[in-house]
Structure 1
Amino acid sequence: MPSSPSSSAQAAREAVAARLRELMMEAGLRGHELAARCGWNAAKTSRIINAKTQPSDADIRAWCAACGADDQVADLVASARAVDFMYVEWRRLQRNGLRKVQEDFYALHEQSALCRVYVSNVMPGFFQTAPYATAVLQAVTRFWATPDDVVEAVASRVARSRFLYEGRHRFAVVMEEWVLRSRIGDVETMAGQLRHLLAVLPLASVSLGVIPSTASRTLWPMEAFYLYDDRRAVVETLTAEINVTQPREIADYARAFADLAKMAVYGDEAKARINAAIDSLG
């Protein structure tokens, strides 16, 4: 696994910066000369070639024009946009509220036959009840101070559960046991969520494994990640959504999921741990 889920995004960002620097050198220009031709401060050129600032489409066009390399614009713009897709800060995604993000995930699930999920923080969205989802999204709204559209966002999130009942979708979930014990919302909310988990456990579309807190680990606990077929992995960190599309890295996440799944318990043992979590609520 990469040392950081954002490492591939940074590497891609640096590759774009390196290519821009090569164009500048091939044109025989220094940083301040390129900046003058582009009509911006020399410090901006330095930030771009050191991968500290992500160039916009307009920046790339101006840079290539200054270097007499207009034929490079299309490839560089595509590469830069790929970086933008790969690493997207929650602040940017949620600047207008949470509903749009939930709708995007709905579409992603709709297009996927197999969703493999590892969670170490909260229940997957497609398992969440409305009260539980409300508690989670209210906390997100408070933390990021986003516009409050929690009611609409909850409706979009809970709508994903329909795919559990459609034959063409399958969900393989591996969950850390402490997710069952981490109280989200009040006691009634958490008890309702756990009872709902028991209700979806027997579904033919669902495979649910729980990694016991006492398990002898062959892999460390890590960030939650979602694997959509074999085409995309979405990793959730505190500050950003990481989108992985490189086949080699997707294979790494698939291998990690398989190893985590081997540590989990299923069927009656998983059910017993869910019931124990309900009993612990009192």
Structure 2
Amino acid sequence: MSTDYQQARTALGARLRELRTEAGLTVRGLAAGCGWVPSKVSKLENGKQTATTADLDAWAAGVGRPEAAAELKGRLAGLESTYRSWRRQLAGGHRAVQDALGAQHERTAMFRGFSATVVPGIFQTPEYARSVLSRYADLHGVTRDVEAGVVSRMRRQEGLYRPGKRYRVLVAESALHVRICPRSVLADQLDRLMSVNGLSTVELGIIPLTADVRIAAGDDFWIHDDRMVIAETWHTEMWLDSAEDIALYAKVWDALATAAVDGRSAHRIIARARASLDLS
């Protein structure tokens, strides 16, 4: 978990503890009033568990300060606007997640992206996207409206054909071989990747498995102009807009780019991955 995220959660917990002690309540006393086990109160106060809005409403009421709920929810919103739990996001459905990304996409002219794990969404075929979204939906136990998520993801690809946009994308060669889908779907996906490699809006770099690298691959991320980075981990999606964070990810992208090949060299690597599928 990010240090910044944990610090923010700990700060929220400290405020919760302050409200409880000001009310003269023990941990057990507040827990009984809220209908919780005492360990939940302790976890929330010590930053070991992220509160829900319902938790904060109950806490404010339990300490006799219902007006404090708005303040507590403001703190939570600030925390979650940067670090967005996949479980919580997907509770609203895949379309909502994809539409939120689409809104940022519309605002962005220059993209710098990196993917070590799968072919990036902006280049995915519908069948490949369906496989990717379905696997991650299963992971988080939220499997509804995958099809709506696929449609929304495909809509973003219209940007590939707009002269005002630019996509500078780095993909690790290993991502070309990840069989998160049937082989026939992966074959079509690699064909698609070779076709977008020729678009005037796209600069595609492939980082060969055998390349000498300045930095090891980490989480997948996208830099939107110079205003925001959206990075992914297993449990959360981070929307980072501080100058320091943007500069760091730009430095990482530049370091990764030194190991990438493009043009015909990239095409050959993709073609080699395609041929290895042996669909005959």
TM-score normalised by length of structure 2: 0.84
Which secondary structure state, in structure 1, belongs to the residue aligned with residue 258 of structure 2?
helix
Residues 34 and 45 in structure 1, CA contact (< 8 A), matched pair in contact too? no
Which secondary structure state, in structure 2, belongs to the residue aligned with residue 9 of structure 1?
helix
Which secondary structure state, in structure 2, belongs to the residue aligned with residue 248 of structure 1?
helix
Matches within 5 A, 1:1-282: 6-21=2-17, 27=22, 29=24, 31-32=26-27, 35=30, 43-55=39-51, 56=53, 57-58=56-57, 61-62=60-61, 66=65, 76-282=72-278
- Structure 2 distance, partners of 1:152, 1:50, is 39
Residues 34 and 62 in structure 2, CA contact (< 8 A), matched pair in contact too? no
Alpha carbon RMSD of aligned pairs, Å? 2.9
- Structure 2 distance, partners of 1:179, 1:191, is 13
| Matching residue's letter, 1:232 | M
Residues 31 and 45 in structure 1, CA contact (< 8 A), matched pair in contact too? no
Superposed displacement of residue 50, structure 1: 0.8
Which secondary structure state, in structure 2, belongs to the residue aligned with residue 189 of structure 1?
helix
Which secondary structure state, in structure 2, belongs to the residue aligned with residue 175 of structure 1?
strand
Higher mean displacement: 88-97 or 269-278: 88-97
Gaps of 5+ in 2: none
Superposed displacement of residue 75, structure 1: 5.6
- Structure 2 distance, partners of 1:239, 1:48, is 19
- Structure 2 distance, partners of 1:40, 1:137, is 37
| CA deviation map 1:129-188 (0-9, x unaligned) | 112112222323333342342332221111111001112222111111111122342332
| CA deviation map 1:225-270 (0-9, x unaligned) | 1222223222222222222233322221121111111111111211
Residues 171 and 207 in structure 2, CA contact (< 8 A), matched pair in contact too? yes
Identity %: 33
Superposed displacement of residue 127, structure 1: 0.4
- Structure 1 distance, partners of 2:35, 2:49, is 14
Which secondary structure state, in structure 2, belongs to the residue aligned with residue 223 of structure 1?
coil
Gaps of 5+ in 1: none
Residues 34 and 63 in structure 1, CA contact (< 8 A), matched pair in contact too? no
Residues 93 and 101 in structure 1, CA contact (< 8 A), matched pair in contact too? yes
- Structure 2 distance, partners of 1:119, 1:8, is 24
Residues 96 and 146 in structure 1, CA contact (< 8 A), matched pair in contact too? no
Superposed displacement of residue 120, structure 1: 0.9
Residues 24 and 34 in structure 1, CA contact (< 8 A), matched pair in contact too? no
The 1:96/1:44 distance shift into structure 2, 3 A limit, reads closer
Runs of 4+, deviation exceeding 4 Å: 19-25, 27-34, 38-45, 59-66, 72-76
